[in-house]
Amino acid sequence: MTVKIDDEKCGHISNCPADGLCILICEQQALIEENNDVKVVDENCNDCGLCISNCPNQAIVQS
């Protein structure tokens, strides 16, 4: 299992109140910045939930 980014809630890194905190705290490098968006690298995600609990826009969910 992995996480999913809700693009409508995320609003791009440049509009994130936490400046892309999810990318910075992901120890597995499962979240990356690509064209100002957060992208999931499925094979790196270990379902730790750090990104989910720290997203200020509640844009990250388990899929």
Task: Give residue limits of the domains in the chain.
Answer: 3-62
Cβ atoms of residues 63 and 54 within 8 Å:
no
Give 38's strand partners.
33
What is the reported pLDDT for 11? 83
Tell the residue number behind the tokens 């200020």, with chain if given: 56
| Domain spanning 3-62, CATH class | alpha beta
What would the pLDDT profile of 5-22 be if each residue is shown by its tens digit?
A: 998 999 889 889 999 999
**Which carries the bigger pLDDT value, residue 1 or residue 21?**
21
What would the pLDDT profile of 27-43 be if each residue is shown by its tens digit?
A: 999 999 999 999 999 99
Predicted TM-score (pTM) of the model is: 0.89
